[in-house]
Amino acid sequence: MTDAIHYLPLATCASLLQAREVSPLQLTEHMLARIESLDPRLKSYATVMADEAMANARQAEQEIESGNYRGPLHGVPVAVKDLCFTAGVPTMGGLKVRRGFRPDFDATVVQRLNDAGAIILGKLNLTEGALSAYNPDFPIPVNPWGESLWAGVSSSGSGVAIAAGLCFAAIGTDTGGSIRYPAMANGIVGLKPSYGRVSRHGVMELAGSLDHVGPMTRTVEDAAIFFETIAGPDPLDNSSSQAPIPDISAALHQGIEDLTIGVDWRYIETGTDPGLVDAIRAALDVFEELGVRTIELSMPHCDPMALRDLWLPITGYEAARAHADTFPARAEEYGGYLRQVLEQGLEQSEEDYLAALARREAFSREFTAALAPVDGVICPAGGFVFEVDRQAQYGDTQAMRGVIQHFQGQFTIPADLAGTPGLVVPCGFAPDGRPYTLQLLGSSLGELELCRLGHAYQCATDWQLHHPPC
């Protein structure tokens, strides 16, 4: 057991476990010790499930030794965002009103991880209710690349834990960018699947028609493995897609000469850090060297705040109904930012909501039409990681405006409105050490093509091998 094993790709770790060169028990002990050592500072975990993890590791070890190998997640330590119901384990969702909540069943994604033999190390911190700010009674995860840097919303604990080597993969959710923003901020891989590809059953809602569940990892291959495990139809989720899940892992080893990438430089460059633009240009050169054909196209150009104004009425209306059991009855236990959004949601009429859905549908048609000619559109993952203070992250209205201005929502919100996939991949570093990432946007059910592109890029570069100084 080497000190660097926690940074191995999940796929490599799986091979070592299958070959019995690494013990699930020793690996789990190593990861729990690392969490105990580092997480008091990084605050990525809301609940560490040490006893459960060790019991499951013992079982995995016995099964693998007896030849009963379940697959590539068997014996691999992972973690889940604390929105996902986990039977008998606190599931708080960053909400003070949920501090005592222990569900009596597992979310479908948790059940599928358990069925695959994964070792769940614990539940990961997030913003309050998966919106944009933290409840003042909860800790803020710390970006391992720099304590003053934003760690992303709302799957920030997932992003921090992956980047710092505190788990090999994690569940994230994305309603307006909350898989992709933390992947960007922490310099990791994040896959927001098409809407319905991964069951939402047992996952606390922010906005049911916009919520997506997906994997966060350090490599695209790992994201594909994790996605294949948690994805697929679920009769317990009426929004679950019935489309079969392709064997993405097998397809990763094909070339990508048959694939195309769309480029709209005005879309990429508007409001984007020049260093990140240069990194995306360099990444595009790599894709072209790998045989990918680039096509100039025109993406819908929308001001980030205008997109937020399209997204927020739907989110507020649906969130207010999701919180009906505790809001407004226990409004004093909510942080200011979420409380404000829920109040706005309650003020909306059904007619207002239906009008917002109509605007969403019109925009989504335009966005999906722009994606149709290519296998992926290259762009930023949601901007560039910035410095932020605690007051803003706890939802102070004035300070929060400054944070929201950094959100380049034109790169995140559209795929949530349209239900299309997006893949975030590391692509370099700024001179001061902050990570750069790119995003590939795809058409509905286009996860396979995005992962083929992202995996080929990672095979041709080594950005995923750089880790924060933990």
Could you list the active site residues?
81, 154, 178
Task: Sort 147 into a burial class: Cβ within 10 Å, 0-12 / 13-18 / 19+.
Answer: exposed
Q: Under a CB-based contact definition with an 8 Å cutoff, are residues 420 and 442 in contact?
A: yes
Query: Structure tokens of 324?
Result: 């009906």
Q: Which residue has the tokens 């489309």?
A: 243
- The helix-helix angle for 274-289 and 447-460 (nearest 10°) equals 90
Which strand (E) or helix (H) includes residue 174?
strand 170-174
Looking only at the bridges linking them, the beta strands covering 212-217 and 170-174 are antiparallel
Provide the residue count of the chain.
470
Rounded to the nearest 5°, which phi and psi values hold at 47?
-145, 125
Nearest to 338 by CA among 416, 417, 284, 400: 400
Distance CA(24)–CA(86), nearest Å, equals 21
Question: Is the Cα torsion angle 352, 355, 361, 364 positive or negative in sign?
Answer: negative
- Characterize the bridge pairing of strands 212-217 and 189-192: antiparallel
Given a contact cutoff of 8 angstroms between Cβ atoms, the answer to whether 155 and 182 are in contact is yes
- Rounded Cα gap, residues 406 and 413, in angstroms: 14
Output phi, psi for 67, to 5 deg.
90, 10
Residue 190 near residue 230, CB atoms below 8 Å? no
DSSP state of 203: B
